[in-house]
Each structure stands twice: as C-alpha cells, then as structure tokens.
Structure 1
Amino acid sequence: MSTGKRLFQYAWLFKKTIVLALLMLSVAVGAELTGPFLAKKMIDTHILGIEFPWYETGQRADSVLYRGKWYTREDHLAAGESKGQEVRILQVGRDYYFIDQPLAFDGQRTVADGKLTIESGSRQAVYPAVPLSNQELFAFFGPETSGLLVLAAAYLGLLVAAGLFHYGQKYLLQKSANLVIRKLRMDVFAHIQRLPITYFDNLPAGKVVARVTNDTEAIRELFANVLASFFTSGIYLIGIFIALFVLDVRLALVCLAILPIMAVWIVYYRKRASAFNHVIRARISDINGMINESIQGMPIIQAFRREKETMREFGELNEELFTYQNKMLRLNATASFNLVQLVRNAAFVLFIWYFGGASLGVGTLFSLGVLYAFVDYLNRLFQPITQIVNQLANLEQSLVAAHRVFELLDEEGIEVDSGKIPRYQGSVRFHDVSFAYQDDQYVLKNISFEAWPGETVALVGHTGSGKSSIINLLFRFYDVSSGTITIDGQNVMDVPKQHIRQHMAIVLQDPFLFTGTIRSNVSLDDPAISAEKVEKALCDVGADQLLRTLPRGFDEPVIEKGSTLSLGQRQLISFARALALDPAILVLDEATANIDTETEGIIQNALEVLKKGRTTFIIAHRLSTIKNADQILVLDRGRIVERGRHEELMEKRGKYYQMYQLQHGQKETQTLVGDALQLDGSPA
C-alpha cells in the first residue's frame, strides 16, 4: 500500500472532525468569494447605474426632483408601470450631463458648446446637454445610497463570518492533525515494543529515536500545515473558477491555461525534491544516531582522546546534510515562489493588454464592475497556487518521513498477549539445539542439557563461546535454528513469547534502571507488586544497607540509567526487581563481575536469597562464585565440552580445571605482590 493511502487511513480515523473542518472551510471560502460579486453590483448598479435610462414619473420614494420634474431610474420601475419621457445622464470625462431624450446608440463621447456628440464607427449623433452641478448630481445618486450601505454591510458581514469559520476550520484541522499524530506515535512506540531483538541489533538506537520523534513530527507538519494548505487552496481554486465562469466564460477559459503549467511544474518539482529529501532525512537520522552514541560513549571518547576524530566524523555527516539542504534551497528559491510570481505577472500583463484596454471604453467587452471583480478573483487565484507551491517542500519532507515510519511499522513484530499461564515448576531442557545469528555461522552446535526445578546451572567459557546465546534462546529473544527447548515439558515455540517470559527474570552485568524512583524501578509500575512487596524485596537482598543512606531512601529519584547511583546500588535494585517478580526461572548474567570487594559480600547474600526455590542460570567468568552450582556447563566454540559439579570437573583436570587454576593462580600472584610491597614499606 502506498504511503499516501496509509496516511489517508490514519486521517480517516478522525473523519468527523476533518469533514466538519472542510465544511467550515467551504463556508468561509464561499463567504469570501461572494465579496467581489457584491463589489461588482455596487459598481455596475449603484455607481455606474446612473447612466441607465431615467423616466419622468410622479413623486415617489426613489424618484429625483430636477427642474420641477420627478424622474425615476428604469430598474426601479415595476413592469407595466406608467412612465413618461425618457432622459439620460451621461459622464464625459469627470463631468456629468443631463440629456432630455433617449440615445440612438452609445460610443465615444465629446462635449462642446452645450452639445454632446456621440460617435460609433461612421455613425454620429448630437444631443443638447446640460451640465449637472455637484448638488444635482448627488441628488441623482441619492436613491442608491441605501443600496450601497446594505451591500457594504453585507460585505463586512461576510468578511466577519469568513473570519469566524476560518478560525473554526483551522482549529479543527490542527486538532485532527494532532489526533492523527498522537495515534501514529502510539502505534510506532507500541510496535517498537513488539519488534524482535534482532531488529535493534542492526539499527542504532538514535535512528529509532529519530523515527519516533523527528519523522513523526514531520508527518504532523503534513497534516497540520501542508494538507490544511492544500485543502484550503483546493477549495479556493474551485470557488474562484466557479466565480470566474459565472462572471464571464471567456475570461475563465483563459485562466484555465494556468493550471496545466502549474501541474507540470509540481510533477517536476516533486521528482527532484523527493531524491534530495530522502538523503536529507537519512543524514538527519545518521546524525541523531551518532549524537546518541557519542553522548553515551563520552567517557571513552575523552579517555582515549578521540574528540577530534569524532568531530571529523560528525563534520562529514553534517557537511553532506548541508550540501543537500542547499540543493533543496536552490530548487525552492529558483522555482517555487518565483515561478508563481512569473506566471501571475504574465497573466496580469496579458489580461490588461487584451481585455483591460477594451473594457475601459463605453459599450465594449465588459463592464467596469466585471473588470474589477475579475481582477480581484485573478489576484485571489494566485494566493492558493502560491500556498500549494510553497508547501511542496514540506510535502516531500513529510512523505519521505512517513515512508521511513511505515518502514518501521512494516517490520514483522510479535503480538503482545496479555494472557497469563500458571507458574512454572522450572524444569528446562535443551535437546540438540543449534543456532546461528547469521546463516551458516553457528554460535551454538548440538547443545543438550537439562536443568531440574530448583537447580543452579552455571555456564562458563571464553568470550564468544555461546553462553549468552543460550540465555537469548531461553528467553526467546531469538529462536533456535534446529533442536528443541522445553520448559516443564512444553516446547517454547508453542507458547507466546510474553507468556514464556512471564515467570522469568534476568539480572544483567550492567543493570539498566529507568527514569523514576528506586521503588518504580523495582515494581516497574506493575500494579500486582505492592509497595510492601517492593520494600520487602529490597530488604531481603540487603539493599536497605546501601540505599537507606540516600536522602529520600527508597523514594530517591533515579535519572537516566541510574547514573547517580553506584554500580553496587544499581545491582541490588535489579536483584530486588527480580525478587519482587518472584520468577520460577532466574538468569544471572555476570551479575557480580564488576562489583567491588566491599559490596561483594552483600551481593553474594542477595544471590542466595534470589536463588532459593528457583531454577537459576548463572553466566560467570569468576569461577569462585559458582563452586556451589548443581551443574556447571563448560562451553567452547558453541559446544558443551565438559559438564558436572565443581569437584567433578576439577578431578577431570580438563578445560574447567585449567580456567580455574589460571584465575586462582592470578589471584595468588596478585596477593603475593601486594604483600611484598607492604613489607617493602611501599603502598599496597
């Protein structure tokens, strides 16, 4: 489905608001476009209408007294009403003259020696003419005053009504735009929760953030301003052309020639602008990704003096973005507003040359009122065209942003199932499991083992041996390439992923804390975990010994990633989080690897509390922490090469023995060196 259709589907969700806005817009446009018709009537009927035939009548409300006789204008007389002699009032230059007889024809007028001469081609007619004083002239305009005031008031009323309806339609369109974007943002963020971990392996966090924030904001611009301008301009164009055809078909047909010119330009512009905007949005995303990475890695950048190299990499991205933004700027500056102005000016020149001069004479193509109304409409015609052209750049940016957002939404996700399953007993079995992150590059090969309820299973091996991959498969962050994994005898592939993780918990080497408080990080705002349960979990793991010293205790604010807390404090909070969930299966991923010696005793006690009654998997490099494990699996290059308890593996004198001796020997060497330094009087 095209990007435009998908955007339309989102807009259709709020069709009532949008339709109401468009109706209000139509009323506003109709009110505005009625104005020139009123102006035309004011000019042709109430101002230039003085040259209509006048007839001698009796005294009446709309008659004029001139030299002892009453005269009424023809258009004020009812059909069949009796009337006397016809007279005329004609303008020559800036003066008006009274003619006491009808005209044979009209044409070029001149006055000399009290005679008015009218010439039209070879014909000529001469009439006695009496000049009118200002007072006499105003008397003949008198009957039109009330009509002029009514039309002027109507014109003002239409402008006020148009203003009110414009306010309403703009408010509703902006509101509908915000509703659409609110819905879209929620859909994008919800879909991110459903995306598999593999998606985030290949896309930096900064780029994902850019799609949720920058790209959706660009789409908001599309609905709030671009489409609003297009709707407004479209209705204006329709209304103006209707008005032009009502005024004069010939003039309207001439103006229709403008539309193909603008259509060709829009097609050309969109083709060029789309290519530029794809690059611009991609570079903005890259820049966001790099900024996010640089902020998180700032200690490393500064420690290894990589500031200049980082600046250079950022400068290259920034320069490319600058280059393409300048290309867009040149495209816009060359042909957007300038092109409209060129076509507008050309249209006015042609109109004045062909129609304007011919309409200034008497009895020619068009009345002065038609000319005025047409010039007004022609001027209005280019306002919506200018709006459309000026919004083309934003349109392309928004469509490119929408395409990127919909690409994310099209990624295959996992439906969130809120159902519940009974708590596990905790029996876990891997049977001949193989797994590859990429095709044919297997990181696990024919893995088979079984963990009984309540057992502690330790996974050891060198970096890259496959320890974390086993945990990833257990949590179904990834799915097996071959083989089966069962929990309590049930294949995990037959259970929704959310159900599988319902009775599991994990404690990472680098614990992740969310912005909030210590309490909210333990409960994760789960209503099933009460405040008392949170405090008990924190006390059970010994966190109260380290956290009670904080100014607000367990209500201490936690900023991004818990950067104001020590590693030991963060680790204890993550232990309490796991304990509060009361999982059947617990995973400790290098949970004590980075803990200082002073805190290690508290952490070890917390571990013992955590492991009670649970099937526990421990990934450990420090082999001294897993001596009491019920089962130790030694991995090497994706295979289990040894298994058993600590004593059994030490007796085999195999790979585990070598690893343990290496670590134990290093520890002894460090202790001996420290003792020697102290005996020498040097600081240990």
Structure 2
Amino acid sequence: MHTHTGRSLLNYALTAKKTFILALIMLAIGVAADLAGPFLARTMIDQHVLAIEKSFYQTTTNDEYAVNYHNQLYKREDRFSPTEKRGEEVRILQVNRGFVLVHGAVVSKEGQRSYADGVLSIMRNGQTLSYPAVTLSAAEIYSFYKPEFPDVLQLLAWYLGFLAIAIVMEFGKTYWLQSSANRVIQKLRHDVYAHIQRLPVHFFDNLPAGKVVSRVTNDTEAVKDLFIAVLSNFFTGIINIIGVYVALFLLDLRLGLICLFVVPILILWVIFYRKFATRYNTIIRSRLSEINAIINESIQGMSIIRIFRRQQQTKEEFEALNDDYMTYQDKMLNLNSFTSYNLVNVLRSVTFAIILWYFGSSALGAESIVSLGVLYAFVDILGRLFQPITGMVNQLAALDSSMVSAGRVFELMSETGEAVTDGSMPRYKGNVEFKDVTFGYKENNPVLKHITFEAKQGQTVALVGHTGSGKSSIINLLFRFYDPQKGTITIDGKPVTELPKQWIRQHMGIVLQDPYLFTGTIASNVSLGDARISRETVEKALRDVGAERVLAHLPGGLDEPVVEKGSTLSAGERQLISFARALAFDPAILILDEATANIDTETEALIQSALEVLKKGRTTFIIAHRLSTIRSADQILVLHRGEIVEQGSHDELLALGGRYHQMYQLQQGASSLVPAAPQEVNQLESVIKGI
C-alpha cells in the first residue's frame, strides 16, 4: 500500500510541480546562503583575526596594508607583491591576554607560551625555546589590526547580504510550498468528492455514511498536514542535511567522513519507527472512522434509541470503540516518547564526543591538522546538522499518520466508479420492456427470476407484493443502479446497457415514501439548482400538485428555509414538495415508491387528481401496498418471491380470484364479512405470512 500511496501522492504533487520546484529552488538557495556564514567566519578568523601571528617584514611601500611601528613600516608576509623587497622579520604572538613582538624569526609558535622579564618562552615536547620580546600596547595592537578592518567589514557586509537572501528565500519557500500544498489538497478533496458521486449505489450499502465522511474530512485533512507540515520539514531537512555535508567536506574531508555515521543511524531510525507506527496508525484511523459512523448513526436514530431505551447499550458500544482508540493512541505516545527529541540529543552528543576525541588525540597537537577557523566553522555547521534532524524526527508521527490517511483516501478512490458521459440524449418516449430478466445482489441468490413485461408510453404500471418480493429491485434495474445477470431491459427498443446511465436518468423522476430534502429553500428543493427550471416552472409545479394551499401558512413562501432534511415540515408537506420536484423535471418515466403512504386522506385526495395530470404522456411505475391507490393502473404486476405470479388490470385481477384478490380483500376487511371456504382460508393465511 505504501508504494501505491507514495506514487499517488507524487502524482498529485506534480499537479503543482512548478510552484513546488520554485519552492525547492528557493529552499536550496536559502540553505546555501545560510551555510555561507560559517565559511565567512572561518575566513575572518584564519585570515584576519589569527593571521596577526604570521610573519611581518619591514617595507618601504606605504600602502593600505603597511603598519607604522616605531617609525618603521611593516607589512604581513602575504601582503607583499612578488617584486616587493622584504626587510627585517618580526613576529607578533599572543601570550595569555596580551601580545608581544619578537624581532627575528620564530622556529615554531606551537606550544605553551609564557613571558617574563623581556623573554618569550615556548615549551613544546619537553623542550623550551626562548626569544627576546617586548610587550605591545593596545594602541600598537590596534595599528597592526587596522589594515584588516576593510576586509573584515567587507566580510560582514557579505554576511548580512547572505542573511538577507536566506530570510527572503525562507519566506518564499514557506509561501510557495504551503501554497502548492493547499492547491494539491484542494484538488484531492475535489477529486475524492467527485469520485464519491460516481461510485455505484451498492457501494454505500456496505460502507456507513460516517466512514465515508471521515475519509473525506479527517483523512484528507491529515493528508493536508502531510503536504504542508511534514513534507515541508522533510524537504527542508533533507536539503539542509545535504548542504551541511557538502559544507563539511569542503571544510575538511576527514572531518566530513567522520560525521557520515549519522546518516545510516537516521535511516534505520525512520525504518524502525514506521514499522510500529504504521500498524498503530492504521488501527487508530480505522477506529476514528468507526467512531464517526456510530455517532452519525446515533444522531440519525436518536428517537428510536430513546423510544426503545437503548441509550446504555449504545453508550457501551461507543465506549468500547473509544477505549480501543485510546489504547492505540497510548501505544503511539510511548513510541513517540522513545523515538523523539531525546534521541537527537544523544546523537548530537555522540557526534561531538567523537570530534573532541579526534582533536584531543591529534588535531590540536603539534601537527595542527586544521586551523582554529576551520574548527570553529566545522562545529558551527555540525550544530546546524541536527536542527533539520530534530524537525524531521518531530514530524515522524505526523508523517506516518498522514501516510495511513492518504492510503485510506486512495483506497476509496481506487473503488470502481461509474463512467461519466458528457452530453445528453433527446427525451425518449418511455416504452419500457423487461425480457426474461434475472437478477441477484449476490451471485447464485436471485431476487428476480425471469421477469417479463412491457410498459408502453403513457401507461401506469403498479408493482404489488409482500416485502422482499422484488418490487424495489425492478426499479433499481430501471435506474441502472444495477444491471441484470440475465435478460435485457429496453427503453424505446434500445437496451439500457448501451446507453450512458446519466442520459437515461436525465428523463426519469422518482417520488419516495420518505422524501429527501436538501438544506436550502422550498424553491431550491424543487429545482435542485438546475438552471433550466425557472421560478415560474417551480411555482406551476407546486400549484399543480396542490402544494400552494398546504404551504400557504409558511411565512417565507417558496423561499422558506429548509433545514436538516426538512425536519420543520410535516411528512405531507415534504411529500408534496417531492411531487412538485418530479413534475418540474418533466420526466418521461415516473416512479412513485409508496408516494402516498405518509399522506393523510385529505392531502391524498388533493394529489390524486394532480397525479392524473402528472402521469399524462409519461410512463409511470407505482410501488404500492395500499391497493386502493392503484385501481386506475393500466397494468398491475403481482410479485411473489421474485416472480410475476399475476398480471392484468385491477378488475381483471379481482375477477381472477387469485393472490391479488385475496390481498385486496384483506385490506378492505372483506374477509371478516364474507364466509370463506377452507381452501380460501389456507390461501389467505399464506398471503398474510408473506406480508
């Protein structure tokens, strides 16, 4: 999963590659400018501060590098031109906090120095060398340092210039890196949401809404942290570490090689951490999704939970998930505590101990392996090596959590979605035919068997039967939420499998038993924001279904706010709005799924006449348990265990005296008034059991 996740994240990062590359270039420039400081310090120490101990010679050239000492001009050995003559040599050496001047050459300035009674003593390897010397006043020392000031000021100017560049580059890097990351996450969230819209309906039958929400919100938020915080720190850290090692090797090859041991330790560290962290984070993110799912389910079913007094059981289920979540959070806490900042301190201490041991044994001895300026610069740069390591280590927890979340997001996006076909098709007539259709939600478990019927344009076809007989499955096939395993379904003679799903559904409308209203207004719930449906069309649709009179008491009229699935409206009002929605879209095929079940008798009488208008010119499928509402249907299909057992009009089926006749008698209460034969009683009992 890690490889797939990493590749997917890289592909998304490439969508903003220009700004990412710009940010990385600015980062590299900023690191280089920042690391220039120790090099400037080395030059300042070795060539200007400590260089006073180099040999000085008398000169006759009075230029900016000449020093006037007791009316004689002296110049440092590296300031002479190739043709310039050199006079008497003098040496200036530091003893404790003061300086002395020696007339003549000094064999070696390395060793322990002391000065007394006009004699400079240098002890080295058990031998003492003595030289006549005089002390220098502060003014005289100043005169020897004065020629270095212009170059020192120039180095300071360079230092400030590099510092300004580093500040600007740091700002640019942060801005462009985070801007790129925000753009990538914006696209990722857009793609995730768009992909959810393309997922087949049966996908949501198996995954609770809370888990889907968790992936779109919590998991993408964690991926945002990955791009903005984690990758920012890791990019910065890696480039800083590379820059530091380049600087270390430029300063001294041997010292750079000594410090290379940090790299494999860091790599092993990350591998060890992620081995455990990935396992914990996978469970943590999964538990968080399950917590979201149970909260969503509890809120949706709060009335049922309270009516059946299931608060304690629901609470215990939640606490079990929450406790498990807490357990693995504690495990992550322990892991982070063990592999945190303290290990960086240990690594830093070990590195400096090795360097001090190396210098203590040889480097600061007589051989003088490196200069003091190189040592200062080396220690400065080495200290900078652990700053990015600290930043990277502190982000390890976020890195792994983000990678797990990214894996969950891309797992959702890898689910096969329905192809989206642009364009549309002309409004079809609505002649629907099922030819020997067999279908099952699971293999070898058909819920529809050999279904064959024809619904012509303008006809009303009613589907009746007990729960589980296959009524809703026929509608699901008609909408192409699923496709049959056997047989064909045609609209106007064309197999539906040859037509894009979006095109077919464009000319279909549905009214559900429990209509779904979106947050907005009554008008927006009728038009669903479709620009093709004008305000006048909305008003006419509401008027035709008789909703104007029912909704007249609302102060906002068509602009009355609808909140939380229309909870402030009655069931009848919501149903009327759903009817108006179907009418406004003028579908060729209309499905009424128990559309009048939740409407009172008076309201039902209102819309029955409107339904007659609504059904004209379009094929209508009605799923109904109340058989009184389908008397006028052109064709009634009686379903039992996935098969059509009776087919015909209301009068024809009553005359047949079969299952429909018994169902109708049962609903009308006729069975209690008319004596029934034993055979009829047995048939009636089987119908009741089926219902």
- TM-score normalised to the size of structure 1? 0.95
Counterpart in the other structure of 2:69: 66
2:175 is equivalent to residue 175 of structure 1: no
Task: Confirm whether residue 482 of structure 1 aligns to residue 486 of structure 2.
Answer: yes
Q: Secondary structure at the match of 1:83?
A: coil
Partner of 1:48: 50
Cα distance, 1:149 vs structure 2: 2.3
Tell me, yes or no, if structure 1 residue 317 matches structure 2 residue 321: yes
Amino acid at match of 1:630: D
Match of 1:130 among 134, 139, 149: 134
Contact 1:118 1:125 in 2 (8 A): yes
SS in 2 for 1:601: helix
- Offset from partner CA, 1:62-85 (integer Å, 9 cap, x none): 322222212222233223322211
Does residue 1:257 correspond to 2:271, yes or no? no
Matched AA of 1:201: D
**CA displacement 1:365-420 (0-9 Å, x = unmatched):** 22221111111111110111122222221111111111111111111111111222
The yes-or-no answer on 1:76 pairing with 2:79 is yes
Q: Determine which of 23, 29, 32 is the counterpart of 1:21.
A: 23
State the alpha-carbon separation in 2 of the partners of residues 498 and 103 from structure 1: 96
For the residue of structure 2 that corresponds to 1:549, the secondary structure is coil
Matched position secondary structure for 1:89: strand
User: What is the DSSP-based 3-state SS (H/G/I as helix, E as strand, rest coil) of the residue aligned with 1:97?
Assistant: strand
Shift of 1:616: 0.3
Question: Residues 27 and 162 of structure 1 are in contact (CA less than 8 Å); yes or no, is this contact kept in structure 2?
Answer: yes
1:353, CA displacement in angstroms? 2.7
Once the two structures are overlaid, the 10-residue window that deviates more, 498-507 or 605-614, is 605-614
CA deviations on 1:220-259 (whole Å, 9 max, x unpaired) are 1111111111111111011111100011111100000111
1:35 aligns with one of 37, 43, 62: 37
Q: 1:132-184: CA deviations, max 9, x gaps?
A: 12222222222222322222232222222211111101110101111111111
Instruction: State the alpha-carbon separation in 1 of the partners of residues 83 and 666 from structure 2.
Output: 125
Which letter maps to 2:67? V
Deviates more, 1:616-625 or 1:530-539: 530-539
Displacement after TM superposition at 1:188 (Å): 1.1
Distance 2:211 2:620 in 1: 36
SS of the equivalent of 1:78 reads coil
- State the SS of the aligned residue for 2:304: helix
> In the aligned structure 2, how far is the partner of 1:605 from the partner of 1:255?
89
Query: d(CA) in 2 for partners of 1:82 and 1:528?
Result: 98
Matched, 1:568 2:567: no
Residue in structure 1 matched with residue 211 of structure 2 by the alignment: 207
Alignment of 1:185-200 (within 5 A): 185-200=189-204
Q: Which moved more, 1:629-638 or 1:63-72?
A: 63-72
Change (3 A) 1:424 1:580: same
Question: Aligned match of 2:334 in 330, 337, 345?
Answer: 330
Cα distance in 2 between the residues matched to 1:635 and 1:283: 43
Report the secondary structure of 2:482's partner residue. Answer: coil
2:395 pairs with 1:388: no
> 1-side partners of 2:389 and 2:79: how far apart?
42
Question: For the residues of structure 2 that align with 1:545 and 1:423, how far apart are their CA atoms?
Answer: 32
Q: 1:132 and 1:653 mapped to 2: Cα distance?
A: 131
- Whether 2:187 is the aligned partner of 1:162: answer no
Q: Which residue identity is paired with 1:72? A: K
* Distance in 1 separating the partners of 2:319 and 2:613: 52
Question: Which amino acid counterpart does residue 62 of structure 1 have in structure 2?
Answer: Y
Paired residue type of 2:107: A
Number of paired residues?
Answer: 669
1:626 to partner: Cα distance: 0.8
Of the structure 1 ranges 337-346 and 113-122, higher mean CA displacement relative to structure 2 is found in 113-122
Q: Which moved more, 1:487-496 or 1:584-593?
A: 487-496
Gaps of 5+ in 1: 670-684
String of CA shifts for 1:564-590, please: whole Å, max 9, x gaps. 222112111111111111111000001
Mapped pair 1:527 → 2:531? yes
Matched, 1:551 2:555: yes
Contact persistence 1:107–1:363 (CA under 8 A): no
Which residue identity is paired with 1:92? V
SS of residue in 2 equivalent to 1:106: coil
Worse-superposed segment, 80-89 or 149-158: 149-158
- For residues 84-483 of structure 1, what are the structure 2 equivalents within 5 Å? 84-108=87-111, 109-121=113-125, 123-355=127-359, 364-483=368-487
Kept in 1, the 8 Å contact 2:438–2:446? The answer is yes
Aligned amino acid, residue 415 of structure 2: E
Q: Is 1:6 the equivalent of 2:8?
A: yes
SS state of the match for residue 219, structure 1? helix
8 Å CA contact 1:434–1:482 kept in 2: the answer is yes
Partner residue, 2:679: none
Q: Which amino acid aligns with 2:343?
A: L
Please state how far the C-alpha of 1:642 moved relative to its aligned partner: 1.2
Q: What SS does the aligned partner of 1:130 have?
A: strand
The match for 1:673 is: none
Residue 609 (structure 1) aligns with = 613
8 Å contact 1:543–1:573 — kept in the other structure? yes
8 Å CA contact retained: 1:359, 1:368: no
Whether the 8 Å contact between 1:106 and 1:119 is mirrored in structure 2 is no
Shift of 1:362: 6.9
Question: Structure 1, residues 254-287: CA drift from partner, whole Å, max 9, x if none?
Answer: 0001111111111111111111111111111111
CA drift of 1:200 comes to 0.7
**More off after superposition, 460-469 vs 295-304:** 295-304
Contact 2:590 2:620 in 1 (8 A): yes
CA contact 1:273–1:328 (8 Å) conserved in 2: yes
Contact 2:665 2:671 in 1 (8 A): no
Please report how far the alpha carbon of residue 107 of structure 1 lies from its aligned counterpart in structure 2 after TM superposition: 2.2
The CA distance in 2 between the partners of 1:305 and 1:384, in whole Å, is: 56
**Per-residue deviation at 1:344?**
0.9
Any idea what the Cα deviations from partners look like across 1:416-472, whole Å, max 9, x if unmatched?
112221212111111111111111111111111111110111111111111100100
Q: Residues of 2 paired with 1:590 and 1:75: CA distance?
A: 102
* Aligned-residue offset at 1:598: 3.6
Partner secondary structure for residue 669 of structure 2? helix
- For the residues of structure 1 that align with 2:371 and 2:227, how far apart are their CA atoms? 43
2:515 aligned counterpart, secondary structure: coil
**Distance (Å, rounded) in 1 between the aligned partners of 2:640 and 2:420:** 36
The 3-state SS of whatever aligns with 1:157 is helix
Instruction: Give 1:578's aligned residue.
Output: 582
Contact 2:210 2:296 in 1 (8 A): yes
**Structure 1 match to 2:680:** none
Maintained 8 Å contact 1:28/1:162: yes
The Cα of 1:361 is off from its aligned counterpart by 5.8
Would you say the 8 A contact 1:56–1:71 is kept in 2? yes
SS at match of 1:257: helix
Quote the Cα distance in structure 1 between the aligned partners of 2:512 and 2:473. 14
Q: Counterpart of 2:72 in structure 1: which amino acid?
A: K
Partner-residue secondary structure (3-state), 1:87: strand
Per-residue Cα deviation, 1:614-643 (whole angstroms, up to 9, x for no partner): 110000111111111111111111111111
**Aligned partner of residue 180 in structure 1, secondary structure:** helix
Tell me how far apart the structure 1 counterparts of residues 576 and 645 of structure 2 sit (CA, whole Å). Answer: 33
Code of the residue aligned with 1:367 in structure 2: it is S
The Cα shift of 1:548 comes to 3.2
| Residues 106 and 120, structure 1, Cα contact 8 Å, conserved in 2 | no
Supply the distance in 2 between the matched residues of 1:156 and 1:567 (Cα, whole angstroms): 74
